[in-house]
């Protein structure tokens, strides 16, 4: 029996294996590129180490590819068949088993069970944070991070990671002031903490502080050479601020140089790229042939159904490119999956993802009335597909655009009134609002909105 850096027991006799796992967790939390190799090295030291086997399973799950599922199940079967496990390791096996079945809800519960007894299990906390995010449950995010916070202090290794997670959880719950305070403190403690930097960017996005956001993320492109794919998402936030500030050249520069890694499987890459292109198109900007690669890649993933949020963006890329037949095949495949699958992923696909994708396809096909009819009732109920408030905001923007293009001006007026109240510094929204008010003959209100747009 050895201990990790925070004093938790690991069933291994190898000190080196335990140290390698510490490094793997730190690398994983810091969005480095070495966690997989470090876990492999730990297994090289002790092939029977159950925690290392679980970590390998977790990292394989993060590949978001069903092809690796049998390999993970094999590991799980071996671990369940009588390997030496302490109670914490048994719960990690339980979490991984639920996750591989798409049962994100019970995976989260297993990590919560770990954290109740072992609040310093940073890997359990981060995985819970990620899955609570994938299932769109902001209150669960906040509840669990704040639930362990009392057992952490600035001397505990990884404290800034916890601060960054708490910042994000607070932001998603609308507590922007506290979120920014915790996020900034985390970045001061660790200036390369991408999650914390990103949490502060979320606060600025939600408060419509777009100019400040461009400055917060006005960073040298080569700043993070040893960070993994997640850095592209931070650049995506920079691009959003620039779209809102109408710095379209900068947004394209970020898309072309930092976002469009070709044929990436990662949910985050697909959603970054598709969401940025669609936001630019809604702003009236021609994106050229940038949908092509994304649509081509999406066509190869229509039967995956790993994450509803990723499926929504595959569908968007296919429909935006005009590949409607494949987009419809994708929706049919979702329906088959929803009928036969189990757990959160299948349920969210059935209740939320399929109608959302029907709306997306209708919108891209120019059937704006149908898109509005489908999207309006669910516009505030999209959380189960996962993602952040800022990410899901794209679907509200699509609804507004459909309402404008479909001549449903009172619908558009209501949505834009809500939007400018929420994002008072967002010039494109004020501009759209002014146009809709003008089209409705409300000239005085239109002038006042136009003044905000030009301010
Ligand atoms: Fe984000």
Residues with CB under 5 A from ligand 1 (ion): 388
Q: What is the largest CA-CA distance in the chain?
A: 77
CA distance 312 to 257: 24
DSSP for 262-325 reads TT---HHHHHHHHHHHHHHHHTT---TTTHHHHHHHHHTTTT--S-HHHHHHHHHHHHHTT-HH
Task: Output the CA 190–ligand 1 centroid distance in Å.
Answer: 19
Compare 352 and 340 and report the one with higher pLDDT.
Answer: 352
E strands of 15-104, at which residues?
Answer: none
Q: Examine the pLDDT at 263 and tell me if it is beyond 60.
A: no
User: C-alpha angle 433/435/439, rounded to 5°?
Assistant: 115
Task: Output the CA 17–ligand 1 centroid distance in Å.
Answer: 33
- Check if the beta carbon of residue 317 is closer than 8 Å to that of residue 298: yes
pLDDT of 383-402, one tens digit each? 999 999 999 999 999 999 99
pLDDT for 454? 80
Task: Calculate mean pLDDT across residues 321-325.
Answer: 97
Task: Calculate mean pLDDT across residues 340-344.
Answer: 83
Task: Output the CA 174–ligand 1 centroid distance in Å.
Answer: 14
Task: Output the CA 443–ligand 1 centroid distance in Å.
Answer: 37
Q: Examine the pLDDT at 267 and tell me if it is beyond 80.
A: no
Question: pTM (2 decimals)?
Answer: 0.93
Going by pLDDT thresholds of 50, 70 and 90, the confidence category of residue 64 is confident
> Could you tell me what percent of the chain has a pLDDT over 70?
98
pLDDT for 424? 83
Task: Output the CA 233–ligand 1 centroid distance in Å.
Answer: 6
pLDDT of 275-322, one tens digit each? 999 999 999 999 999 999 899 989 998 998 988 999 999 999 999 999
- Check if the beta carbon of residue 315 is closer than 8 Å to that of residue 330: yes
φ, ψ (nearest 5 deg) of residue 341: -80, 175
Task: Calculate mean pLDDT across residues 407-434.
Answer: 91
Going by pLDDT thresholds of 50, 70 and 90, the confidence category of residue 262 is very low
Task: Output the CA 391–ligand 1 centroid distance in Å.
Answer: 7
Going by pLDDT thresholds of 50, 70 and 90, the confidence category of residue 80 is confident
Q: Examine the pLDDT at 455 and tell me if it is beyond 80.
A: no
Radius of gyration of the chain (CA): 23
Fold assignment, 1-135:
1.25.40
pLDDT for 261? 63
> Could you tell me what percent of the chain has a pLDDT over 90?
83
Task: Output the CA 195–ligand 1 centroid distance in Å.
Answer: 9
pLDDT of 200-210, one tens digit each? 999 999 988 89
Task: Output the CA 203–ligand 1 centroid distance in Å.
Answer: 10
CA distance 446 to 455: 14
pLDDT for 375? 97
Going by pLDDT thresholds of 50, 70 and 90, the confidence category of residue 225 is confident
CA distance 374 to 365: 14
Task: Name every residue whose Cβ is closer than 8 Å to that of residue 296 and which is 6 or more positions away in sequence.
Answer: none
Q: Examine the pLDDT at 378 and tell me if it is beyond 90.
A: yes
Region class of 361: left (phi > 0), else alpha (psi between -120 and 50), else beta: alpha
pLDDT of 23-51, one tens digit each? 999 999 999 999 999 999 999 999 999 99
Task: Output the CA 380–ligand 1 centroid distance in Å.
Answer: 19
436: β partners: none
Task: Calculate mean pLDDT across residues 417-446.
Answer: 92
Task: Output the CA 358–ligand 1 centroid distance in Å.
Answer: 25
Task: Output the CA 156–ligand 1 centroid distance in Å.
Answer: 26
């Amino acid at each position: 029996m050895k201990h990790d850096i925070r004093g938790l027991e690991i069933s291994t006799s190898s000190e080196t294996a335990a140290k390698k796992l510490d490094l793997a967790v730190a690398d994983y939390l810091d969005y480095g590129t070495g966690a997989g190799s470090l876990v492999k090295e730990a297994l090289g030291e002790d092939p029977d180490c159950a925690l290392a086997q679980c970590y390998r399973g977790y990292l394989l799950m993060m590949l978001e590819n069903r092809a690796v599922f049998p390999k993970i199940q094999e590991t799980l079967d071996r671990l369940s068949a009588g390997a030496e496990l302490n109670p914490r390791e048994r719960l990690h096996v339980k979490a991984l088993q639920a996750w591989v079945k798409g049962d994100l809800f019970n995976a989260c519960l297993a990590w919560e069970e770990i954290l109740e007894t072992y609040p310093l299990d940073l890997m359990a906390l981060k995985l819970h944070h990620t899955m609570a995010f994938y299932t769109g449950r902001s209150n669960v995010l906040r509840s669990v991070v704040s639930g362990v916070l009392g057992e952490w202090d600035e001397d505990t290794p990884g404290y800034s990671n916890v601060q960054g997670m708490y910042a994000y959880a607070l932001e998603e719950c609308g507590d922007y002031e506290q979120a920014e305070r915790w996020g900034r403190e985390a970045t001061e403690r660790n200036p390369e903490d991408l999650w914390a930097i990103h949490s502060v960017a979320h606060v600025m996005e939600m408060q419509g502080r777009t100019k400040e956001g461009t400055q917060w993320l006005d960073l040298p492109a080569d700043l993070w050479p040893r960070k993994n794919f997640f850095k592209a998402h931070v650049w995506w936030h920079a691009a959003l601020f620039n779209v809102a500030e109408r710095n379209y050249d900068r947004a394209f520069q970020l898309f072309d140089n930092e976002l469009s890694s070709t044929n990436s499987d990662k949910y985050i890459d697909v959603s970054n790229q598709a969401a940025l292109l669609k936001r630019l198109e809604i702003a009236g900007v021609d994106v050229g042939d940038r949908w092509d690669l994304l649509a081509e890649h999406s066509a190869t993933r229509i039967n995956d159904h790993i994450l509803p949020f990723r499926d929504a963006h595959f569908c968007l890329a296919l429909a935006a490119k005009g590949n409607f037949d494949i987009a419809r095949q994708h929706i049919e495949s979702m329906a088959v999956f929803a009928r036969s699958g189990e757990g959160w992923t299948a349920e969210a696909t059935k209740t939320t993802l399929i109608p959302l994708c029907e709306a997306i396809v209708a919108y891209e096909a120019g059937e704006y009335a149908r898109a509005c009819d489908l999207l309006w009732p669910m516009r505030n109920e999209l959380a189960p597909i996962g993602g952040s408030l800022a990410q899901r905001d794209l679907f509200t923007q699509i609804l507004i655009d459909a309402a404008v293009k479909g001549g449903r001006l009172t619908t558009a007026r209501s949505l834009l009134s809500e939007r400018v109240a929420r994002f008072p510094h967002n010039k494109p929204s004020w501009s759209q609002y002014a146009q809709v008010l003008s089209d409705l003959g409300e000239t005085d209100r239109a002038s006042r909105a136009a003044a905000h747009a030009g301010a």
